[in-house]
Amino acid sequence: MTESDVQQSSPRVRFPGISPRAYEHPADKGAMATLRAVPGVADVLKTLNSLFNERAERLMAVASHVRVGPSQYPVLDRLRNEAAEVLDLQPVPKIYVARDPRAIAQTRGIDEPFIMLSTGLVEALDTEALRFVIGHEMGHVLSGHAVLLTLLDRLLRLQRSVAWVPLGVIGLRAVIAALYEWQRKSELSCDRAGLLVGQDPQAALRTHMYLAGATDLSQIDIPSFLEQAKEYEEIDDIRDSIIKLLAVEHQTHPFAVVRASQLQRWAASEEYRAILAGQYLRRDAQDTGNPLNEDIQGAAKSYKDSWNNSTDPLVKVFSDVGGALSGVADKVFSGFRRGGGQQTPEDEGGTNGGNGDTKK
């Protein structure tokens, strides 16, 4: 990676005032909308933050890592500023490079989010792949993910400190499991942000292939790699379904083949092309309707579509059971709605599809 590599790169479309809702995955968008709407969440986060010294974390980054700037990792500094310019993000988050042979990129901090890249990642990726990674992390900042990512880190620490209190651990495990599920969806959102910054789907694919184990890309075949994603998604043995469920429980990121497949689909979508053409939601736009309801409904639709389109046998079992329970509940509640709490003959015999009482 050299300075000339960045200087010779082609101009990219910029997105003045782009709202993170323009690119966020529906499930991520729904979780973030709910968080923003719940009264008192900000106070809880501030209280939790007061238990840990964020200032100390930033100071440790200054003391232990190399801060990217014009005279330190100048190519990364240029990528940092260009990524922020494309997403219209101010102030530009600081980036630190930490000594670690693993491939790691993180965004942390609540008051002043900052990005940390490992030496293993920086040394392995080419310039455009690094642009994608930095754009991905900028997406976390723009979406406000740093708050929840920092919260998850701190809850994990808190869980270890109260492990001797069974009820406390059960409560924390539920919250942590929910945050893990949200984080996996947030990573899909920020892959989209990385693609908007780099506007190079092949560079994004190279990144995912490296994370999966590629070293020499001349020995790797992209169609074969994407075929792995199809194989993973189209399993037909319930034993494999259970293995997948257990494997992903404590994962912070979706598996590399899943990320690659999801991003390739989005790169081929009308939604992506519309954003590149300047048709996207802006931060200062007046919301019409109820954005919270829209985001939550979008999240529900995303999960429903994923289940309906899945060939996973365990998902099919859950879907069938859920559908049966939903049908029973609908019949019960329809009776209470129509009869003022009393079941009607129609309810005993079935659902009357012509009376409009079974809207969903």
Q: What is the 3-state secondary structure (H, E, C) of 152-174?
A: HHHHHHHHHHCCCCHHHHHHHHH
Q: Which of 55-64, 167-176, 245-254 has the lowest mean pLDDT?
A: 167-176
Which residues does residue 116 pair with via DSSP β-bridges, in sequence order?
Answer: 96, 106
Structure confidence at residue 222 as a pLDDT band (50, 70, 90)? confident
Mean pLDDT, rounded, for 3-32: 76
Q: CA of 286: how far to CAs of 125, 195, 237, 289, in Å? A: 40, 26, 48, 10
Choose the weakest-confidence range: 86-90, 92-96, 282-286, 305-309: 305-309
The pair of three-digit structure tokens given for residue 259, joined into one six-digit string: 């990320």
Q: To the nearest whole percent, how much of the chain has pLDDT over 70?
A: 55
Least confident of 129-138, 256-265, 318-327: 318-327
State the Cα–Cα distance between residues 1 and 105, nearest whole angstrom.
Answer: 18
* Predicted pLDDT of residue 134: 98
Is-contact 104 116, C-beta < 8 A?
yes
Query: In this model, does residue 144 exceed pLDDT 70?
Result: yes
Higher pLDDT, 57 or 258: 258
pLDDT at 118 over 70: yes
Position with higher pLDDT, 90 vs 255: 90
Confidence band of 57 (pLDDT split at 50, 70, 90): confident
Integer CA distances (angstroms), 149 to 33, 119, 181, 249, 329, in order: 16, 21, 12, 17, 36
Mind listing the pLDDT tens digit for each residue in 155-204?
666 666 555 545 455 556 666 666 677 778 889 999 999 999 999 999 99
Per the prediction, the chain carries an average pLDDT of: 74
CA distances from 171 to 41, 43, 165, 176, 201 (A): 17, 19, 10, 9, 41
Tell me: pLDDT of 3 over 50. no
- In this prediction, residue 143 carries a pLDDT of 87
- Whether residue 20 contacts residue 143, with contact meaning beta carbons closer than 8 Å, is answered with yes
Alpha-carbon distances, residue 63 vs 57, 115, 153, 186, 279 (angstroms): 10, 15, 21, 30, 43
Tell me the mean pLDDT in the region 84-106: 96
Task: Please say if the pLDDT value at position 103 is more than 70.
Answer: yes
Q: Which residue has the higher pLDDT, 84 or 164?
A: 84
Reported as a pLDDT band with limits 50, 70 and 90, residue 347 is: very low
Mean per-residue pLDDT, 81-93: 96
